[in-house]
Amino acid sequence: MPKPPWRPRKEAYLRALASHDASVRRVALADKLYNARAILLDYRRLGDELWDRFNPDSDQLWYYRALVSKFRETTDSPLVDELDRVVTELEQLSHPHR
């Protein structure tokens, strides 16, 4: 069975986050922070070429900003602030080019 389109899958994930246990959300937050840091590091090295490695239908910046918002609603972990900082830096670096 083929995967559903990218955006509806990500929207479903965001909706489901609130229903998961706090421990599951902590692991998800740590994972998304790690991924965002890796994207930022690669963006610094590759610039806009980085976006070529993602599904052309995806909007990674939208997704990571939405993750920040959802995690703010569901946890008080300081990792949310760090995710926000990383996403903000990525937005600032890439928006002038996108």
62-78 confidence digits (pLDDT tens):
999 999 999 999 999 99
Q: What is the pLDDT of residues 15-39, one digit of tens each?
A: 999 999 999 999 999 999 999 999 9
pLDDT higher than threshold 80 for residue 92: yes
pLDDT higher than threshold 50 for residue 97: no
pLDDT band at 96 (very low <50, low <70, confident <90, very high): low
Do 36 and 4 touch, CB atoms closer than 8 A? no
Tokens linked to 51? 């976006």
CA nearest to 20, candidates 87, 74, 89: 74
CA distance 83 to 47: 20
The mean predicted confidence, pLDDT, of the chain is 93
User: Which burial class, exposed, middle or buried, applies to 73 when counting CB atoms under 10 A from its CB (0-12, 13-18, 19+)?
Assistant: exposed
